[in-house]
Each structure stands twice: as structure tokens, then as C-alpha cells.
Structure 1
């Protein structure tokens, strides 16, 4: 099986004030010749339901303070189908899950792996958690938070 070519991108407004919401746009593009099915779990495609990002302020890791979800096995609707050349995206509000209350430069990084990627629709959902974890690299984004 060839590994699908997936391209990941994050974007955020580079400046915010303490107390303002900070929204991060997550995009995942299929650069392969055929469609792929990506499990949305542990990615911003499903929102923030776990430590989908690593957040640091001035180099110090910020603890995750959002919800943690326990789940049953995924269904077919837990996957995003991405056609060749297509992009799926979602915007998430990171101040709901990490503390951005102090001024400083915050770096937001995606955790660099997709839990499951399938190249055939009949493989979705996978039986018994036989996930095909797929690394994907997103360049981190920085946001400078200033005092009010």
C-alpha cells in the first residue's frame, strides 16, 4: 500500500489581546491520485476533544484544559472522505482548551499524526482498532497575545 500524500496547514491571526478568542484554521489536502478516508478523531476536524495541538508560550508548554473524550469504535461517519486534490477544513477556538490569559508569543502545533487513514472505502471503519496511523507535518503557527 502506498502512503497517501496528505498536506496539512494551520493558520491563525498573528495578533490578539488577552481575553479575545483565538481561532485556528486547520486544513488537510489530499495530494494523492485517489481518494482517502481520514478518521477525524484527535484532529481539529472534529473540534477540540483532546490534545490535538501542542501549545507553548515563550517556549513553555501550556497544559491542556479542555474536554477528554472516551469513545466506542468509530463508525463510517467518523471519517472525512477527501477526493484527490480536495481539502477539508475546520476552524477551532483554542482559548476554550488552553490558557491564553498572559501576554506572550504562543506557538500552536498539530501533533503530527493522523490516527487512521484508509485508501479504500471498504476499509472504513476499521475492525478492532487496526488503525493505519499516518504522519502528517503541519508548520506551527504563532500568535502574539498583548495585554489589553
Structure 2
């Protein structure tokens, strides 16, 4: 089996003020010739349920303060099918999980791997948590937060 070709793009408004929301758009495109099924867990496709991003301010790590979720095994509904050439996307509000209250330049980076990607529908969900982690690289995005 070849590794699916997945392309990830993050986008954000490059400027915000302290106290304003900062929304990050996460897009995942299937560049393969066949459909894939991606486990939404630990990605922005399910919202922020853990440290899906690394956030730094002027080079210093900003600690994650959002929810941490303990889960049972995934169901088929935990996966998102992506047809060949199709893109799935979701916008998340990062100020709910990281502190953007200080002025500075914030860099938001996706964690660079999808927890599980299947190339056959019958493999979803995988028995016994036999996940096939798939690396995917998104270019980080920067947002400059100015004082009010």
C-alpha cells in the first residue's frame, strides 16, 4: 500500500488585537487517486479537543489550556471520507485553548501527523487501535496580536 498523498494548509488573519478571537482554517486535500478515511481525532477537523497545534509567541511556547479528552475506541463516525481531489476543512477558534492576551507574533503549527488514515472503507475503524499514523506537513501561520 502506498502512503496517501495528503496536503494540509492552515490560514489565519495575519493581524488581531488583544481580546479578539483568532480563527484558524485547517484544510486537508486528498491528492491520491483513491478515497481515504481520516480519523478526525487530534486534528482541527473535530475542533480543539487536545494539543492539535503548537503555539508560540515570539519564539516562546504558549501552554495549551483547552480540553483534554479521554476516549473509547473510535467508531466509523470518527472518520471523515475524502474523495480523490477533494478538500475537507474546519475553522477553529484558538484563543479558547491558548492564551493570546499578550501582544506579540504568534506562530501556529499543526502537529504534523494524522493519527490514522485508511485507504479502504472496510478498515474503518481499525480493530484494537492498530492505527496507521500518516505524516502531513502544514506550513505554520503567523498572527501578530497588537495591544488594544
Compute the TM-score of the two structures, normalised by the length of structure 1.
1.00
**Structure 1 residue runs without a partner (length 5+):** none
1:122 is paired with a residue of what secondary structure? helix
**In 1, Cα distance between equivalents of 2:23 and 2:137:** 20
**In 1, Cα distance between equivalents of 2:128 and 2:40:** 17
**In 1, Cα distance between equivalents of 2:42 and 2:109:** 13
Task: Report the equivalent of 2:25.
Answer: 25
Q: How does 1:9-24 map to 2 (within 5 A)?
A: 9-24=9-24
Q: Deviations over 1:55-106 (max 9, x none)?
A: 0000000000000000000000000000000000000000000000000000
**Number of equivalenced pairs:** 148
Task: Report the equivalent of 1:71.
Answer: 71
Q: How does 1:55-70 map to 2 (within 5 A)?
A: 55-70=55-70
**In 2, Cα distance between equivalents of 1:77 and 1:129:** 15
How far 1:138 sits from its partner (Å)?
A: 0.1
**In 1, Cα distance between equivalents of 2:125 and 2:19:** 40
Compute the TM-score of the two structures, normalised by the length of structure 2.
1.00
Task: Report the equivalent of 1:109.
Answer: 109
Moved over 6 A (4+): none
**Structure 2 residue runs without a partner (length 5+):** none
